[in-house]
Amino acid sequence: MYQLRRIQEALGRARLGALILTDDRNIYYATGFMPTDSAAFITPQRAWLITDSRYTEDAAEKCGPGVEVLLNNAQHPLTELLSGLCAGVEGDVGAEAGKLSHLGFIGLERSLGRELTGADELINGLRAHKTREELETLIRAQRIAEAALEAVLPMIKPGLSERELAAELTYQMMRRGSERNSFDPIAITGAHTSMPHGVPGDGVIKSGDFVTMDFGCVKDGYCSDMTRTVAVGSATDEMKHVYETVLRAQAAGIAAAKPSATGAAVHAAGAKVIADAGYGEYFGHGFGHGVGLDVHEAPNASPKNSEPLGEGVVISAEPGIYIPGRFGVRIEDVLYITGDGCEDITKAPKELLIL
Ligand code: GLY
Ligand code: MN
């Protein structure tokens, strides 16, 4: 999505003379086009995308207004072109220290012959606060994932393998307009569900299993992310109790999610429900993470985030209980933080389904 103006205004506020972007998502955010192995160079007044012949034709069509496309090739390497643009800049030049390796950052400084200023907070902070257009795109990505789930639910039967289920989720999302998966889908069953990020294998669904599906797609660059856990054939009272506890934990975190709440406070609200039910040791990850061009981005709703979330950010709400060797449950929605609370943009039902 094309957010060049927002970046240029932020450069002015940060008193930076220019910003170099090399991260694909950041380049897309700035220019409206997502090549690989490229760079964007942005000053408060002008912007360039430096890319190679694989992308120049597409870039000329897709870059937003005000972005000039420069071709890099063997005669004019990317760093030489960047160096030329830097030469005209008065003031500090920012770059994504957090996206480059230490060696990469130092190498860029060496090849440009100047020190660079870490500008991660500037770009991450902008990206965290979604515009209405970005929110609408995230919702479109979410609806694709939800429709795919609806199509897949009737296929969930004993004998279906985890791998087949993961493939179906991918296929059903692509049929509905997904550009790609936002991450490799997690589709796990039975005892595997106790592994929060278990990898789909050849194991098949059996009656009495929980099945956890954590998946999402990319639409116009923006990610969806959702998790549903369903039971097949039957569920024991203990499974039902764990499921209801996770659902209550999610509701508590959602109720706490508002602009003034810290990420840690939202996490604590959900974690308390799980701990009070006696399952505290079985919930080891954060309550949620930011979602946008990256499926994991700022801000986090985790114990490490003592900053208020702020208005307009998007976070996941994904508590879980994972009992090793037995079963696990996770339920994940995506929330948009509004002026006084939040809007749950995930509309798929959450009552326990026993298929
Ligand atoms: N939904 C995958 C994750 O958030 O890690
Ligand atoms: Mn997630």
190 and 96 housed in the same domain: no
Domain assignment of residue 223, yes or no: yes
Ligand 1, pocket-test mutation among 169, 291, 316, most atoms within 8 A of CB = 316
Pair of tokens at residue 177:
């307009």
Q: How confident is the model at residue 227 (pLDDT cuts 50, 70, 90)?
A: very high
Backbone angles phi, psi at 312, to 5 degrees: 90, 5
* Closest by Cα among 344, 351, 348 to 138: 344
Residue 294 beta carbon below 6 angstroms from any ligand 1 atom: no
Instruction: Indicate the average pLDDT of the chain.
Output: 97
204 and 300 housed in the same domain: yes
* Closest by Cα among 288, 340, 347 to 138: 347
Q: Report the distance separating Cα 242 and Cα 253, nearest Å.
A: 17
**Domain count across the chain:** 2
User: Stretch 143-170: mean pLDDT, rounded?
Assistant: 98
| Cis geometry, peptide bond prior to residue 35 (ω within 30 degrees of 0) | no
What is the DSSP secondary structure assignment for residue 2, as one 8-state letter? -
CATH, residue 100 = 3.40.350.10
For residue 333, report the distance from its CA to the centre of ligand 2, in Å: 8
Residue 225 beta carbon below 6 angstroms from any ligand 1 atom: yes
243 and 229 housed in the same domain: yes
Domain assignment of residue 277, yes or no: yes
For residue 215, report the distance from its CA to the centre of ligand 1, in Å: 8
150 and 33 housed in the same domain: no
pLDDT at 98 (0 to 100): 87
Angle at 329 between CA 325 and CA 334, to 5 degrees: 145
Query: How many angstroms separate the Cα of 109 from the Cα of each of 30, 115, 229, 287, 290?
Result: 22, 5, 48, 38, 30
Among 127, 157, 186, residue at a domain's last position: 127
pLDDT at 221 (0 to 100): 97
User: Stretch 305-322: mean pLDDT, rounded?
Assistant: 98
| Residue 341, beta-bridge partner list | none
User: Stretch 137-156: mean pLDDT, rounded?
Assistant: 98
- With contact defined as beta carbons under 8 Å apart, do 124 and 96 qualify? no
pLDDT digits (tens, 9 = 90+) for 1-58: 789 999 999 999 999 999 999 999 999 999 999 999 999 999 999 999 999 999 999 9
Measured in whole angstroms, how far is the alpha carbon of residue 45 from the centre of its chain? 30
258 and 340 housed in the same domain: yes
214 and 333 housed in the same domain: yes
Residue 297 beta carbon below 6 angstroms from any ligand 1 atom: no
Domain assignment of residue 48, yes or no: yes
Among 127, 160, 193, residue at a domain's last position: 127
Domain assignment of residue 353, yes or no: no
pLDDT digits (tens, 9 = 90+) for 258-299: 999 999 999 999 999 999 999 999 999 999 999 999 999 999
User: Stretch 75-91: mean pLDDT, rounded?
Assistant: 93
For residue 252, report the distance from its CA to the centre of ligand 2, in Å: 17
Residue 168 beta carbon below 6 angstroms from any ligand 1 atom: no
Owning domain of residue 180:
132-344
Residue 214 beta carbon below 6 angstroms from any ligand 1 atom: yes
Domain assignment of residue 155, yes or no: yes
Pair of tokens at residue 133:
């257009």
80 and 188 housed in the same domain: no
For residue 295, report the distance from its CA to the centre of ligand 2, in Å: 7
- Decide: pTM greater than 0.85: yes
122 and 136 housed in the same domain: no
Q: Which atom of ligand 1 is nearest to the CA of 214?
A: 1
Lowest mean pLDDT among 97-111, 114-128, 171-185: 97-111
234 and 252 housed in the same domain: yes
pLDDT at 94 (0 to 100): 96
Domain assignment of residue 304, yes or no: yes
CATH, residue 188 = 3.90.230.10
Q: Which atom of ligand 1 is nearest to the CA of 216?
A: 1
Domain assignment of residue 351, yes or no: no
For residue 214, report the distance from its CA to the centre of ligand 1, in Å: 7
85 and 187 housed in the same domain: no
Q: Report the distance separating Cα 173 and Cα 156, nearest Å.
A: 16
Among 108, 127, 146, residue at a domain's last position: 127
Domain assignment of residue 349, yes or no: no
Angle at 193 between CA 177 and CA 265, to 5 degrees: 80
User: Stretch 294-311: mean pLDDT, rounded?
Assistant: 98
